[in-house]
Structure 1
Amino acid sequence: MRLTDISLKTLQPPVKGQVTYADDTLPGFGVRVSQGGVKSFVVVHGRNRKRTTIGRYPTISLQDARKAAKQILAERTLGKHEAPPIDFEAGLKLFLAAHFPENYPKPRTRAETKRQLEKHFLPSLRHEKLEHIQAREISRIIDKMHKTPGEARHAFAVIRLFFNWAFRRGYVDRSPCERLQAPKQSLPRDRVLTQDEIRTVLGHARERDTTFNSIVQLLLLTGQRRGEIASLQADWIDFDSRTITLPATVTKNKRQHAFPFGEMAEVILKRALLQAQQSREERREYEDADEKALLLFPARGKHTAFDGWSKGKPNFDKGCPIDHWTLHDLRRTCATNLAALGVPVHVTEKLLNHISGTTSGIVAVYQRHAYMDEMRDAIERWELHLRSQ
C-alpha cells in the first residue's frame, strides 16, 4: 500500500501482536502497528534484513520518517554502517584492556585514568549506548566539578581520550567531546597557612590518633606530597639516620628521593609503624597474611595505600574552623616558612624534590651533592619553629 497521512490514520490495530504495513513507494520503509494502537515507522535494510525503528507517528511526520528512511538506506548503500551497540560500562572495560595492556610502562597513568572514568562517568552513563551519549551529558558531568577545576580538566581529558578510542574502533560515528571546550585552567594556588592556622591544624591533628591525622602532620613536617606520604612503606624508612627514601615509582618526577625527618616526625612514624605491625600480626591469627611490603598507612581492609581523601578532609575540617585550604597547601606552607627561616631556595627544592631552574637540566645530571646535611638543618629549624608556636 502507499502510505499517506490519510491511510495512516485509518490503519487499525491487530487483535494481537504487531503488523507491519510496507510502503510501496520506498522499498524497506513501512509502519508497524501494535495491538495497543501504537504506530511506529520502521525501515528494513541489509543482507540480514535488520529492522530499525525511526520513531512514532504522529510525533514524527510521515514526510520526516520517509526522509530518515532514505538516509539510512543511502548510508547502507554507501557502506556507512551503524556503529555496533555497546554500552559505556562494556566500552570502559575494553578501553582499559586495549589502551593499557599489562606491560604498559606507566601503571599510575592507567590507575588514574580508570579512577576518573569510574568515579565521574560510570555512575550516570553505565547502561548508555556509546552512540547515544550526547555532548550535553558530558558537559553536565564536567560542570558539576566547577569547584575543583583541576579535577574537571583531568576528567575532560580522560573522557575525550576514551571517545577518541571509541571512534577509532568504530563504536561511535563521532565523539561527543569533539565540539566541547576543555575547562579553563585554574589559576595557581598561593594559599599559605598563617601561624595561627598552622597551630589550629596541628592542634586538631593531634587530638585523635587516626591515619588521616597522622598524614596531615607529616605533610606539614616534611613538605612532601600526600600520595608519597600515604604510600610510605616500612623498608623505606631508616630510623638510625632519620631518612626516608622514596622509590621513583611513587614520586611525581619519577626520580628516587631521599630526605631527612626530625624528632616530631619520628614519633608519628614509629607509632604508625607499630600499629601496622600489630595489624599484620592480628591478621595472621585468622588468615594467611602474606609478606608483602608493610604499609604504614593502608586503606581500610586493603593492602593498598590510604585513599580516603574525599571523606577524610571534610571530616577533619569539621573540627578545624579555618578558611578553605587543601592538603597541598601544607607543602606550600612548609616551603614558605623555610624561606622565612633563612633556608636557601635550592635546599628547599631539594627537600621537596621539586625540579626548577636551580636543580634541573645539566645541573641535575652533574650535581652529585645530595644536600642531606643542609636539608637536615632545614628540618631542624622548621620543627624548632613549630615547637615554639
Structure 2
Amino acid sequence: MAKITIKELESLTANDAGRILREDGNLAGRVSVRKDGVSVSFFYRYRWGEQNKEYSCGSWPRKSLTDIRKARNQARALIDEQINPNEQKKTAKAQAHAATNAKAEQEKSTKVQTLAVQDLAKAWLLDGVARKDGNAELQRRFNKDLFPALGKTAVSSVSEHDVRALIRTVVNRGAHRQAISFFADLTQMFGWARKRQPWRALLVEGDPTELVDISPLIPADYEAERSRILSPAELLELHNRFQQMTADYIALPAGQKYDGIRPLKKETQLALWISLGTLCRIGELLQAEWKNVDLDRQTWFLPSENVKGTRGKKQDLHVFLSPFALHFFQELKTLTGDSQWCFPNKQDDGHVDVKVVSKQVGDRQARFKNRKALSRRRHDDTLVLADGQNGDWTPHDLRRTGATMMQALGVSLDVIDRCQNHVLAGSRVRRHYLHHDYAEEQKCAWNLLGDRLSAVLSSTYEHPPSKSMMSFPAYASTESLPPSSA
C-alpha cells in the first residue's frame, strides 16, 4: 500500500469529502471540508482485546504529515508494551489538566500572599465602609498617611510596630485629633478584613491594631474633647477685627490691594455669626438652600440628610431665626440670593466644601499650626484672639459658645440639646408617648441668645424683649435628657 504524499493531500477538493485515505502501518485519514478549506483527520487503527480501536493522530494541514506518522508510531510502541494508547492519552490529558489547575492555584495563592495594604484599603473603601462624603476624606487621609508608608507592604507583613509608626508620624506633626481618628479608621479596616477572605487568611498573626494602645502615643496634656468657648470680649474682638480688616483693605490704593491683607470673605464672616446665633454645625449651614430659609417667617429648615448623625437616627430641625440671626441671613441673601445655595461654590452647581470655613479660620491662626505655609493658602495670625492666650478657636467652638451662653441665660439643658439638634437618649417608651415639640421654648431660647449676642457686640439689631428671662420656662434637672451625640 503506497504512502500518502503531501502532493496528494494538496490536490484534494471539496468533492473528496468523506473519502478515506490509507497507507501502510494502519494509518488512515478521513477527508472533510471546513470553512478554511479541506482537512484530513488521521487515525491509527489497532486491535485491543476483542475490539477494534481508533487512535487520533491529528489533522492535516494543522499538523504536518511527519508529526502525524510520529504520533502513529508512538501509539504502536505503547501497544507493544501492552498499554492502550487511548487510555494513555486520557491519563496524560488529566494529568496536564491537574498540573494546569495546580499551577493556577499556586499563582493565585502567591498573588493572595502578596496582596498589599493598598489592595486591602481599596477593597474596604469599596465594600466595607460608606461615609457621608463618599469616603473622600478617608481616601485623602490614606493617600497622605497610609499609602506612602505601607501602601506596597504585604498585608501579611504588617505588624503592630508598623501601625505605631503610622500614628507617631501624624502625632509628630501636631495633628493629635487626626491621629486618633486615623487609628480608628485603621482599626475599622483591619476589623473588617479579619472576618473576610482572602484577608482573613493573611492575618495569621492576628489584627495588628489590636496590639496597639494609642494612649501612650498621644501627649498627656491633649484634651480628647475641645472645651474652648469664646468670651464676650473675644466675640467683640472678632466682630471688630472683621470690620477693621475690611475697612483697611478698602482704604488701600488700587495698586496695593494685591499685596494687602485681604479680610475674611464676607460670606464666611456671615456663616460664623449665623452658626453662633443658631447653634448649628458649620457644615450643616454651608449645605443650606434658600428654598429652606423663610426670611418673612424667620425660619430655617434643616433636612435630616444635611445633619450629622448615625444612619436611622438623624432628624430634621426647624430653627427659629432671632433678629440677630435673621440680620445675617438677610445680608447673606443680598450676596447669594440668586443662587439655589446659600453658600454656592464657584461653579454655582452645588454648595461650597463643608470644611472651607474651618480651613479659612485655621489658616489665619498659623501660630497654632505645626506646619509650613501651604500653597495658595493664607498663613498668618489675623484671627488669633486675646493675643493667643486662650489658644486657637474653630467654627465649632462658636456652637459650644452659644450653647454655654444659653445655659448661663437660664435655658434648660434639654431645650439647649433640642436647639443643637442632639439625638436625645432616654426610654423608648418616653420617646414614643411624649411628643411635645418644644417649638415655643426653642424660639424663646434662640431669642434670648440673640439678645445677649446683640448686647455683646453692641449692635443695632437687638431684639426688643417681649418676655423677660424670668418668664423663660425652667425645667428641673431631673427632667433633662442627656444628649447621645455632639
Asked whether the two chains share a fold, i.e. TM above 0.5, the reply is yes
What is the match of residue 212 of structure 1? 268
Between structure 1 and structure 2, the one with the greater Rg is: 2
Matches of 2:137 and 2:214, distance apart in 1 = 18
Matches of 1:130 and 1:114, distance apart in 2 = 18
CA deviations 1:166-188 (Å, max 9, x no partner) are 45332433443232124479544
Deviation at 1:202, TM superposition (A): 3.2
Q: Which moved more, 1:308-317 or 1:215-224?
A: 308-317
What is the match of residue 180 of structure 1? 212
CA deviations 1:327-362 (Å, max 9, x no partner) are 3221221111112222233322221112446x8744
Establish whether residue 384 from structure 1 lines up as the match of residue 451 from structure 2. yes
Q: Do 2:112 and 2:198's aligned partners in 1 also have CA atoms closer than 8 Å?
A: yes
What is the match of residue 269 of structure 1? 329
SS of alignment partner, residue 307 of structure 2: coil
What are the within-5 Å matches in structure 2 for residues 160-171 of structure 1? Answer: 160-167=187-194, 168-171=196-199
What is the match of residue 303 of structure 1? 350
SS of alignment partner, residue 244 of structure 1: strand
Establish whether residue 155 from structure 1 lines up as the match of residue 182 from structure 2. yes
Instruction: Give 1:162's aligned amino acid.
Output: M
What is the match of residue 142 of structure 1? 167
Q: Name the CA shift for 1:196/1:311 in 2 (closer, same or farther; >3 Å).
A: same
Deviation at 1:121, TM superposition (A): 2.2
What is the match of residue 25 of structure 2? none
Q: Name the CA shift for 1:385/1:309 in 2 (closer, same or farther; >3 Å).
A: closer
Deviation at 1:255, TM superposition (A): 1.0
Instruction: Give 2:445's aligned amino acid.
Output: A
CA deviations 1:122-148 (Å, max 9, x no partner) are 454444444444433432332244445
Instruction: Give 1:141's aligned amino acid.
Output: L
SS of alignment partner, residue 91 of structure 1: helix
What is the match of residue 91 of structure 1? 120
Q: Name the CA shift for 1:331/1:363 in 2 (closer, same or farther; >3 Å).
A: farther
Instruction: Give 1:98's aligned amino acid.
Output: D
Q: Name the CA shift for 1:89/1:305 in 2 (closer, same or farther; >3 Å).
A: farther
SS of alignment partner, residue 112 of structure 2: coil
Establish whether residue 332 from structure 1 lines up as the match of residue 400 from structure 2. yes
Matches of 1:153 and 1:362, distance apart in 2 = 36
Residue number among 240, 244, 257 corresponding to 1:203 in the alignment: 240
SS of alignment partner, residue 230 of structure 2: coil
Matches of 1:123 and 1:213, distance apart in 2 = 37
Deviation at 1:377, TM superposition (A): 2.2
SS of alignment partner, residue 318 of structure 2: strand
Q: Do 1:245 and 1:256's aligned partners in 2 also have CA atoms closer than 8 Å?
A: yes
Q: Do 2:298 and 2:326's aligned partners in 1 also have CA atoms closer than 8 Å?
A: yes
Unaligned 5+ segments in structure 2 are 1-100, 247-263, 366-380, 457-486
SS of alignment partner, residue 305 of structure 2: coil
Q: Do 1:133 and 1:176's aligned partners in 2 also have CA atoms closer than 8 Å?
A: yes
Question: Between Structure 1 and Structure 2, how many residues are aligned?
Answer: 298
Matches of 2:288 and 2:152, distance apart in 1 = 38
Q: Do 2:290 and 2:341's aligned partners in 1 also have CA atoms closer than 8 Å?
A: yes
Q: Which moved more, 1:173-182 or 1:229-238?
A: 173-182
What is the match of residue 319 of structure 2? 259
Q: Do 1:117 and 1:159's aligned partners in 2 also have CA atoms closer than 8 Å?
A: no
Matches of 1:246 and 1:49, distance apart in 2 = 56
TM-score by length of 2: 0.53
Establish whether residue 321 from structure 1 lines up as the match of residue 367 from structure 2. no
Q: Name the CA shift for 1:120/1:257 in 2 (closer, same or farther; >3 Å).
A: farther
Q: Do 2:324 and 2:453's aligned partners in 1 also have CA atoms closer than 8 Å?
A: no
What is the match of residue 312 of structure 1? 360
Matches of 1:274 and 1:90, distance apart in 2 = 49
Matches of 1:132 and 1:154, distance apart in 2 = 23
Matches of 1:117 and 1:365, distance apart in 2 = 42
Q: Name the CA shift for 1:386/1:190 in 2 (closer, same or farther; >3 Å).
A: same
Instruction: Give 1:179's aligned amino acid.
Output: L
Matches of 1:125 and 1:298, distance apart in 2 = 38
Matches of 1:136 and 1:164, distance apart in 2 = 17
Deviation at 1:86, TM superposition (A): 3.5
Q: Name the CA shift for 1:239/1:277 in 2 (closer, same or farther; >3 Å).
A: closer
Q: Taking every aligned residue pair, what percent have the same amino acid on both sides? A: 21
Note the aligned Cα RMSD (angstroms). 3.5
What is the match of residue 281 of structure 2? 225
Matches of 2:346 and 2:186, distance apart in 1 = 29
Matches of 2:213 and 2:134, distance apart in 1 = 23
Q: Do 1:200 and 1:320's aligned partners in 2 also have CA atoms closer than 8 Å?
A: no
Matches of 2:186 and 2:449, distance apart in 1 = 43
Q: Name the CA shift for 1:196/1:112 in 2 (closer, same or farther; >3 Å).
A: same
What is the match of residue 248 of structure 1? 304
Q: Name the CA shift for 1:298/1:156 in 2 (closer, same or farther; >3 Å).
A: farther
Q: Do 2:361 and 2:383's aligned partners in 1 also have CA atoms closer than 8 Å?
A: no
CA deviations 1:144-169 (Å, max 9, x no partner) are 44445443332112112223444533
Instruction: Give 1:303's aligned amino acid.
Output: G
TM-score by length of 1: 0.64
SS of alignment partner, residue 209 of structure 2: coil
CA deviations 1:356-379 (Å, max 9, x no partner) are 46x874444333332222222222
